Each structure stands twice: as C-alpha cells, then as structure tokens.
Amino acid sequence: MRMPDEIEIDRPDDWHLHLRDGAAMTDIVHLSARQFARAIIMPNLTSPVVTTEQAIEYRARILAALPPDSDFTPLMTLYLTDRTTPEEISRAHSSGAIAACKLYPAGATTNSDSGVTDIARLSPVLEAMQRADLPLLVHGEVTDPEVDIFDREQRFIEARLQPMVAEFPGLRIVFEHVTTAEAVDFVREGPDTLAATVTAHHLLFNRNAILAGGIRPHYYCLPVLKRERHRQTLLKAATSGHPRFFLGTDSAPHSLGDKQTACGCAGVFSAHAALECYAQAFEEAGELDRLEGFASHHGADFYRLPRNARKVRLRRESWQVPAQYPFGDGRLVPLGAGESMRWRLID
C-alpha cells in the first residue's frame, strides 16, 4: 500500500507536559506551543504547585513566556500532597482555572518528595474531586525500594489503582504514561472513567535503548522503558482507535549536566518533535489514519473540552534534530539528537 506524503489532522493537544519555570521554561515553551493547541502542565516544579493561587501565577508566567503570536493554552494542575484539603479542591473547582490534580506517590519520580505518602488518607480529597468532577492524574508506580523498578507500574495497579477505581466510581482517572501490557489491559477492561496517556518514546523504544551497547542517559525516564513485548502492546493500544488512550508526551527537560552524571535525572525531552515521533510510530504500525483520534480527539473528549478548530499538516520530509537546545543556564539534549526524522510538521 502506498503511504501518503502529507497528512492533515485537527490540531492536537499534549495531555502530559513538563514546562519547568523561569529562563529554562522560556527557552523551550515555544516548541510545545508550535506543536499543540493546549497542554496539561505538570505541577512538579522544584517548589510544587499546590494551591490554586500558585497555579494561576504559574499560568501567567507561562503565558508571558510564549511567543507573541501564540494562542497556546496551558491547562493547569494541582500537585496533591499529604496536606491537600477538600477545601483546596473546592477553591480549584470554583476558580475554573484548574483542569485536574496530579497524584505522585512520594519519591516516585523527579520532584515528587512532597508527594502523597499514604493514598488511603487521601480519600476525603478524592471524594471532593469526584464531587467537583475534577480528573485525577496518576503517576502509577509503587515506591517500595524492595520492588524491582521494572515491576513498579504493574504492582501499582493491584495495590493502589484498582482499589481507587472501585472506591470512586464517578472520579475520572488518567493513568499517566502507561508502559506495560498489564496497564493497557487494566485500562481497556476498565470503566469509561479510566483513561491513559502514552508517550512517543514508549511507543518507539524498548529498554535496550538505555542499556544495550553502552548506557544512554537521554533515554532514561520514569516509568523506565520496558521490554519489546510491552512496547508492542502499547503500540497496538495507541493505534487501535480506542477512545480512552490518548497523547501525552511527558516531555521532561533536564540540563545536559543533570542527565550526564553519576546519578542522572529521569526524563526524556520530546517537545521539539513530538508529533513527528508519534507519526513515525503510527506509520510503523501501519495505522497512520488513527493518529488524529489519538492526538486530537480522544483527550479532549475525555477531559470534556471542545476539540480544536484548525488543522496541522505533517509532510514526509527528512530533517535533522539539533544536537542541543538552549535551556536556561545550561543545554538540553533532545530525543533523537542529531538524527534524522521522517516526518516534518509544517508551519
């Protein structure tokens, strides 16, 4: 079958994005704004975004950092802690400024030290979110140091997520950046209130990318890349047309110095070529015509937001990913640095 040389899809959104803050944010936010109409902005700043007021201030800093002609809309989230109150959820809801709340199990990933230590004690907050119809976004990994890092997502499902879904049947939950066949099955068999985001790097790479033939820190992220069997299952789910799987890049910039060191940070930066990477994965699966649903429709529908007007075009045209981008005081190594891409987003 002949593949098209150009595709046009409704403007997509990124349902999981890390923008950081300050000069570093200013250096990268335009890359996401070029690709996406809206994005769910993760609240794990060095000092996390825990109140509605802080989220509104953060949103103002993002808007101020955008190129003047940009209409990019940041959708703000709150970071849940042991001290989050149902009152804060009411404030978030009535402000109209908060799109969702993020649950990081304490210690699960970058800047998650203030995260939740005991999910059972979060019940009054989750109840308030269910009442306010505010979606819960979950980093789904257990943090028990005894549990093998490749099993942490799978263990989270039985130990934490399954009980949460059962206890709060009206709460919309997004299982963020799913990486395993077990997570895909759980979402597929779950209720309509349960959805998942899938990153481009988990669709394109398995764990050999980090470890085979040398250690490659720029492929290290959390949840960590898994074996090929899991990548194949993710690819099948993302390209199946199932409405509860949608695009979330989890683009997570760290400076070169923070990545290439004895104890490097977790995070893959993909905002510079996000749609191109997804297009490559969908093409590899022979399902390019399913890209639009995954990238532009399913997320908006789940969040109950209008689908975007306008279109974007991708052309089959090779271009070279820069080796680095400026990033505040440092530099940033993007996914596929120096390599050539098959698809190009046309401005």
Tell me how far apart the 2 most distant CA atoms of the chain are, in Å: 57
Under rule CB under 6 A, residue 32 binds ligand NCD: no
Binding mask 138-157 for ligand NCD (x = CB under 6 A): -x------------------
Closest CB to ligand NCD among residues 44, 280: 44
Q: How far apart are CA 323 and CA 321, in angstroms?
A: 6
Query: Which residue from 271, 197, 317 is spatially nearest to 35, judged by alpha carbons?
Result: 271
Residue closest to Zn ion, measured at CB: 250
**Residue 231: helix, strand or coil by DSSP?**
helix
Q: Decide if 266 contacts 139 (C-beta within 8 A).
A: no
Which residues within the stretch 279-308 sit at the binding site for ligand NCD (CB under 6 A)? none
Strands 340-346 and 311-320: what pairing? antiparallel
Q: Figure out which of the listed residues 26, 44, 73, 193 binds ligand NCD, where binding follows CB under 6 A.
A: 44
Which residues within the stretch 218-277 sit at the binding site for ligand NCD (CB under 6 A)? 221-222, 250, 252, 266-267
Binding mask 230-259 for Zn ion (x = CB under 5 A): --------------------x---------
Taking each helix axis as running N to C, give the angle between helix 228-238 and helix 274-284, from 0 to 180 degrees, rounded to the nearest 10.
100
Q: Considering CB under 6 A, how many residues would be counted as binding ligand NCD?
A: 11
Closest CB to ligand NCD among residues 92, 222: 222
Q: How far is the CB of 221 from Zn ion (least distance, A)?
A: 8
- Annotated catalytic residue, options 250, 258, 289, 301: 250
Tokens 């790097």 belong to: 201
C-alpha torsion angle, residues 79, 80, 83, 88 (rounded to 10): 80
Tokens 């680095």 belong to: 324
The residues pairing with 73 across neighbouring beta strands, listed in sequence order, are 38
Q: Considering CB under 5 A, how many residues would be counted as binding Zn ion?
A: 1
Under rule CB under 6 A, residue 209 binds ligand NCD: no
Q: Which does 267 bind (CB under 5 to 8 A by kind): Zn ion, ligand NCD, none?
A: ligand NCD
Closest CB to ligand NCD among residues 52, 77: 77
Q: How far is the CB of 19 from ligand NCD (least distance, A)?
A: 10
CB proximity list for 159: less than 8 A, separation 6 or greater: 142
Q: How far apart are CA 7 and CA 288, in angstroms?
A: 9
Q: How far is the CB of 261 from ligand NCD (least distance, A)?
A: 15
Taking each helix axis as running N to C, give the angle between helix 86-95 and helix 52-65, from 0 to 180 degrees, rounded to the nearest 10.
40
Strands 14-17 and 38-41: what pairing? parallel
Catalytic, 329? Answer: no
Q: How far is the CB of 103 from ligand NCD (least distance, A)?
A: 12
Q: Decide if 321 contacts 336 (C-beta within 8 A).
A: yes
**Residue 110: helix, strand or coil by DSSP?**
coil
Q: Which does 110 bind (CB under 5 to 8 A by kind): Zn ion, ligand NCD, none?
A: ligand NCD
Closest CB to Zn ion among residues 177, 230: 177
The residues pairing with 251 across neighbouring beta strands, listed in sequence order, are 17
List interacting residues with Zn ion (CB under 5 A): 250
Contacts with ligand NCD, residue ranges (CB under 6 A):
18, 44, 109-110, 139, 221-222, 250, 252, 266-267
Residues with catalytic annotation?
A: 250
